[in-house]
Structure 1
Amino acid sequence: MKPLPRQWLYLLMLAAVLLVAAGRALGAGEGSEVTQARIALVIGNAAYRGDPLDNPVNDARLVAGVLKKAGFDVTLAQDLNRAALLEALRGFGNRLNENTVALLYYAGHGLQLRDRNYFIPVDAEIRSEDEIPIAGIDVGFVLGRMAHARSPVNLVILDACRNNPFLGKTVSAQGLAQMDAPVGTLLAYATAPGKLAADSGSGANGVYAAHLARHLLTPGLSVEQVFKRVREGVVRETQQQQVPWESSSLQGEFAFVPGVAAPALAQGGDEAGEIAFWNSISSASRADEYRAYLRQYPQGRFASLAQARLAAFTAAPAAVAAASAATTVGAGVAAAPATGPSTAASPALPAQAELPPSQTVAAAPVAVPAPPPSAGTLPAGVAHAQALPRVGDRWRYRVQDQFRLGDLFVSARVEALTAEGVAESWSTTSDAKLRTAVAALAPGFHELPGWTLTPPEFSPYLLAAGGWQPGEALGTTSRRVEQLSVPLQARVEGEEDIQVAAGRFRALKVVLSGRVAPRGGKAVSMEQTVWYAPAVKRMVKSTISTSVGGTLREATSFELVEYELH
């Protein structure tokens, strides 16, 4: 056989190399996973003027070292003044994107004011409560940056509330306020809301940081299990004087260190942690506190009791009746009377909840709302029952405003159908506080109690109230703008297809417009357009523009990004 020409040998060798490379590429594509960058900002503030703390810098260094071992790209910062703290948080937020796991650990002073929480820089001089937003930095700033980046896993660890130097002097509320975690976020608190955390442990570190460092690198533990073990350890060491908390809305699984989980802690430690956690909420007047317990102990000894109390809250939230007196349309439409809360004694603990003699559980009466309407009762004004939502239905909107920085996300969830309307719970990525309100079916503005950052919705469940026809007038309503009440004519313009982030829908289009020109003042004009999709059972988009004296003062849009119907 004649040998092959040299050029053929080269071609065959090249083909072999390409085939091997292609095989490796295909194998990598089939067996590999997309890795996410782990980004962490760790802050320790201790050098406060006149009241330095002992451990935050040590704690920050300890946690930073552990996070580096867990594969995080860690930025460690300490003793930050306000400008440096803001710059550190801003830089952290700028590094986040859809392919990052974001973690913020903060050790130092933290304060609450009107249900919002604030990081306190070391140069803060607070002489009155109203100066807290000026001297501190709102935790909601970080949550907003995380939401804007759409990072799938966000972890915020607040090792704050240490020996508050402002308490009783310029600040009346101690500790941090309870917040609810935005979607994809876990909020961890070193101690229960409204309580103080110890600034010392058995060594150079605070008790919370020491236990966090001890368990964070345990192979195979989910992030929820890590914090559960931290709580159990802190509760034991402090003899139940400090009870760490978490609020989580993580949608996937996350472990600091992959692997096979080791056996659980001894039963005694688990019992102590659970009992201490229950004691901290047993007299709670908020449904989300019982939800927090059930997330941590879904099969816990107090699960039945927690579910019973939660059912009483979610059937008719205590705050929704007062909210049902919101603005209504046209003359002769009266606000529904408020239904006050009733008080029910705590039911007896189930047999499996009996405790050892050394353990005590607070069982004080808890205020619960009145019973829900009977099964056959529907909200007043229902014309199309098939357009009504169901309990558990939820929607998430992106809010964009020309006069605000970044995006804001708001989420609504149906808690009950009451005689007054649809009872909802609301959360936002601005402050993450859980709010409750009733959305009446009659045309009118839907106000959220204590919320002014976004314009109110207009009748989010309008489709359930009637079979509206193109050109039909919905009456007159009004909205207050700069101390003026602007009358608005509402009308149905027709149907059209609309594309939003959640998909493409056939929607009913409603337009509100109006103008008022006071004597000696500037004219105010406003227009709001709302699209309602039967497939979604709620509004899918809304745009609002307001001008004062011909100058645009408000330009806001709501757009549905995701929803879930049951």
Structure 2
Amino acid sequence: MSPRRLLGRGLAVLLLLLAWAVLAPVAAAQGREITETRVALVIGNAAYRSDPLDNPVNDARLMADVLKKAGFEVTLRQDLDRAGLLEALRGFGSRLDENTVALLYYAGHGLQLRDRNYLIPVDAEIRSEDEIPIAGIDIGFILGRMAHARSRINLVILDACRNNPFLGKTVAAQGLAQMDAPVGTLLAYATAPGKLAADSGSGANSVYASYLAKHLLTPGLPVEQVFKRVREGVVRETQQQQVPWESSSLQGEFAFVPGVGTVPGTPDIDAAGEIAFWNSIQASNRAEEYRAYLRQYPQGRFSPLAQARVAALTPAPAASPAPAAAASPAGEPPQTVAIAPATVPGPGNAPAAPLAGTLPRPGDRWRYRVQDQFRIGDLFVSAQVEAVTPEGVAESWSTTSDAKLRTAVAALAPGFHELPGWTLTPPEFSPYLQAAGGLQPGQGLAGLARRVEQVSVPLKASVEGEEEIQVAAGRFRAVKLVLRGQATPRGGKAVRLEQVVWYAPAVKRMVKSTVSTSVGGAVREATSFELVEYQLH
């Protein structure tokens, strides 16, 4: 074959690969559901030669039983030497893939050295601190395996701060070191960094494992709330001597047991846990620790002080010729931007050219609390951008109600955004409408309708202006859009619908939505979506 023909074929192959790379994310988001696989490795190390422990094996058995009830494929290992510990971690890592929820629970001795954390096998004989990396297993090993597998959700629970059995032989600090969680990971510690956790509890298990087992199977409870309740229980029982800790970068919703969330704990318990958490970080010079507090207590009593310390400890961004919306962890005040002059959508509600700065980017994510008059407790949903195309924004969705990851494309043009196989909430209305040419006060949208109980209800939508709105994620300047309509089928009852949506340019998506429908005067829907936290890239 001639060199020219070879070159031509090579260019053709390259063009095909480029086209696949561009179109694959969009094709993947055309209404798809993915069911997760749950894999857990549970380790209890107690039979140490120098300092045996009482509860780790009991705790590991307890956690293995609870995780099996939560649908995990559990591997339980006990009293592992270094070779056994390494092999268990290797085997666990080999089972992970992009559709996996991966969980590692470790109870036993753990040490920190130079800001690295090590799991200690039962055969370890450490005579100097330089031997810690050789005798132990760096936790970074399994975090690296999780990152390589691109597991959807990674949970690492370290009940490993009981004491330093080699004190006097090493200068390693007590407890474990604070680590920032890799993307898609929640790191949970039995106690705050640098502190010790009790090896005993009221029974055969440690206090931390007991509360974790108690709350883990609560239907619909988001994983972050599970650990918050664990912290509150441990703080109360230990009289604030032990304060569990988490570092999270999860990007999707997850509940150990799918379902609808239950009513939160009592205010007194919440207050005790919050105060203990704050006491454990108030002398810190790390912005991430104050962000962790804000994620756990976005409306907490110390939120203003935490926000101020985050601002003081965060380097100022480089000057930019054009302002951009900044990422905002839960509880931090967002940077608002002026609403750009809008252009009116074209004929038939077709969108005009997207306004600069209003379109999201891949990786942007939003988390909403959904409350419904007919449901006890809350539901949480998360949306993350996978791709931005002329057809719309390709998103992946996760909820605390089931174990599915949904993908769909949200069109920029006005209309209702349906998710595949999802009926627990009313559909969103054009979550990215502000990117379709903007929203101008007094502007109207025609030709819209939504089906309610087999009745097509025509809707008139009007932009009623700008207003300040307070949600859990912060206070925003937003544009208010109201949709109203009614229809009376022949021989049937009148159906009325009202949906109000608030859009904030600083967030690049809706920040709040309320939906109310009635049939013959009886309320059928009374639902609200409220932004809890978001992150922009």
**TM-score class, shorter:** 0.5 to 0.7
User: 1:154·1:186 contact (CA, 8 Å) conserved in 2?
Assistant: yes
What amino acid is the match of 1:47? A
2:58 and 2:44 map into 1 onto residues whose CA distance is: 8
1:114 and 1:304 map into 2 onto residues whose CA distance is: 32
Give the Å deviation of 1:242.
Answer: 0.2
2:147 and 2:246 map into 1 onto residues whose CA distance is: 19
Q: The residue matched to 2:247 in structure 1 has which SS?
A: strand
Partner of 1:555: none
Partner of 1:164: 164
Q: The residue matched to 1:179 in structure 2 has which SS?
A: coil
Q: The residue matched to 2:35 in structure 1 has which SS?
A: coil
What is the correspondence of 1:80-99 to structure 2 with a 5 Å cutoff? 80-99=80-99
Partner of 1:34: 34
Partner of 1:284: 284
What is the correspondence of 1:13-28 to structure 2 with a 5 Å cutoff? none
Partner of 1:249: 249
User: 1:67·1:74 contact (CA, 8 Å) conserved in 2?
Assistant: yes
1:460-493 alpha-carbon deviations (Å, 9 max, x no partner)? xxxxxxxxxxxxxxxxxxxxxxxxxxxxxxxxxx
User: 1:164·1:196 contact (CA, 8 Å) conserved in 2?
Assistant: no
CA 1:266/1:101 → structure 2, altered by over 3 Å: closer, same or farther? same
Give the Å deviation of 1:190.
Answer: 0.2
Q: The residue matched to 1:84 in structure 2 has which SS?
A: helix
What amino acid is the match of 1:232? E
What amino acid is the match of 2:271? E
Partner of 1:307: 307
CA 1:565/1:247 → structure 2, altered by over 3 Å: closer, same or farther? closer
What amino acid is the match of 1:144? G
Partner of 1:274: 274
2:32 and 2:45 map into 1 onto residues whose CA distance is: 41
Listed as ranges, the gaps of 5+ residues in structure 2 are 1-29, 329-334, 336-534
What amino acid is the match of 2:36? Q
Give the Å deviation of 1:155.
Answer: 0.2
User: 1:192·1:243 contact (CA, 8 Å) conserved in 2?
Assistant: yes
What amino acid is the match of 2:129? E
1:156-210 alpha-carbon deviations (Å, 9 max, x no partner)? 0000111321234313311000001111000000000000000000000000000
List structure 1 runs of 4+ shifted beyond 4 angstroms: 385-393
Give the Å deviation of 1:308.
Answer: 0.4
What is the correspondence of 1:94-243 to structure 2 with a 5 Å cutoff? 94-243=94-243
What amino acid is the match of 1:42? V
- RMSD of aligned Cα (Å): 2.4
1:220 and 1:31 map into 2 onto residues whose CA distance is: 24
1:391 and 1:112 map into 2 onto residues whose CA distance is: 35
What amino acid is the match of 1:101? V
CA 1:295/1:307 → structure 2, altered by over 3 Å: closer, same or farther? same
2:34 and 2:295 map into 1 onto residues whose CA distance is: 29
2:90 and 2:211 map into 1 onto residues whose CA distance is: 29
CA 1:49/1:93 → structure 2, altered by over 3 Å: closer, same or farther? same
1:50 and 1:290 map into 2 onto residues whose CA distance is: 37
2:163 and 2:34 map into 1 onto residues whose CA distance is: 44
Give the Å deviation of 1:315.
Answer: 3.5
User: 2:187·2:247 contact (CA, 8 Å) conserved in 1?
Assistant: yes
Give the Å deviation of 1:389.
Answer: 9.1
CA 1:236/1:50 → structure 2, altered by over 3 Å: closer, same or farther? same
Give the Å deviation of 1:236.
Answer: 0.4
User: 2:110·2:117 contact (CA, 8 Å) conserved in 1?
Assistant: yes
2:153 and 2:196 map into 1 onto residues whose CA distance is: 28
User: 2:184·2:251 contact (CA, 8 Å) conserved in 1?
Assistant: yes
Partner of 1:475: none
What amino acid is the match of 2:46? A
What amino acid is the match of 1:282? Q
Q: The residue matched to 1:264 in structure 2 has which SS?
A: coil
What amino acid is the match of 1:201? G
What amino acid is the match of 2:255? A
Partner of 1:260: 260
Give the number of the structure whose alpha-carbon radius of gyration is greater.
1
Q: The residue matched to 1:315 in structure 2 has which SS?
A: coil
User: 1:126·1:135 contact (CA, 8 Å) conserved in 2?
Assistant: yes
Partner of 1:53: 53
What is the correspondence of 1:322-401 to structure 2 with a 5 Å cutoff? 386=321, 392=327
User: 1:124·1:136 contact (CA, 8 Å) conserved in 2?
Assistant: yes
Give the Å deviation of 1:256.
Answer: 0.3
Q: The residue matched to 1:175 in structure 2 has which SS?
A: coil
1:406-440 alpha-carbon deviations (Å, 9 max, x no partner)? xxxxxxxxx9xxxxxxxxxxxxxxxxxxxxxxxxx
TM-score (norm 2): 0.54
1:242-287 alpha-carbon deviations (Å, 9 max, x no partner)? 0000000000100000112221111111110000000000111111
1:69 and 1:242 map into 2 onto residues whose CA distance is: 28
What is the correspondence of 1:67-86 to structure 2 with a 5 Å cutoff? 67-86=67-86
Partner of 2:44: 44
CA 1:389/1:304 → structure 2, altered by over 3 Å: closer, same or farther? closer
Partner of 1:528: none
What amino acid is the match of 1:263? V
2:260 and 2:325 map into 1 onto residues whose CA distance is: 40
2:83 and 2:107 map into 1 onto residues whose CA distance is: 17
CA 1:32/1:285 → structure 2, altered by over 3 Å: closer, same or farther? closer
1:80 and 1:185 map into 2 onto residues whose CA distance is: 25
User: 1:231·1:245 contact (CA, 8 Å) conserved in 2?
Assistant: yes
How many percent identity over aligned positions? 81
User: 1:187·1:247 contact (CA, 8 Å) conserved in 2?
Assistant: yes
TM-score (norm 1): 0.52
CA 1:389/1:137 → structure 2, altered by over 3 Å: closer, same or farther? farther
Give the Å deviation of 1:35.
Answer: 1.1
1:519-549 alpha-carbon deviations (Å, 9 max, x no partner)? xxxxxxxxxxxxxxxxxxxxxxxxxxxxxxx
CA 1:280/1:69 → structure 2, altered by over 3 Å: closer, same or farther? same
1:31 and 1:387 map into 2 onto residues whose CA distance is: 36
2:232 and 2:163 map into 1 onto residues whose CA distance is: 22
1:121 and 1:74 map into 2 onto residues whose CA distance is: 20
Q: The residue matched to 2:112 in structure 1 has which SS?
A: strand
1:386 and 1:52 map into 2 onto residues whose CA distance is: 61
1:167 and 1:391 map into 2 onto residues whose CA distance is: 46
2:170 and 2:274 map into 1 onto residues whose CA distance is: 35
CA 1:183/1:240 → structure 2, altered by over 3 Å: closer, same or farther? same
Q: The residue matched to 1:209 in structure 2 has which SS?
A: helix
What is the total number of aligned residue pairs between the two structures?
Answer: 304
1:389 and 1:177 map into 2 onto residues whose CA distance is: 35
Higher relative contact order (CA 8 A, sep 6+): 2
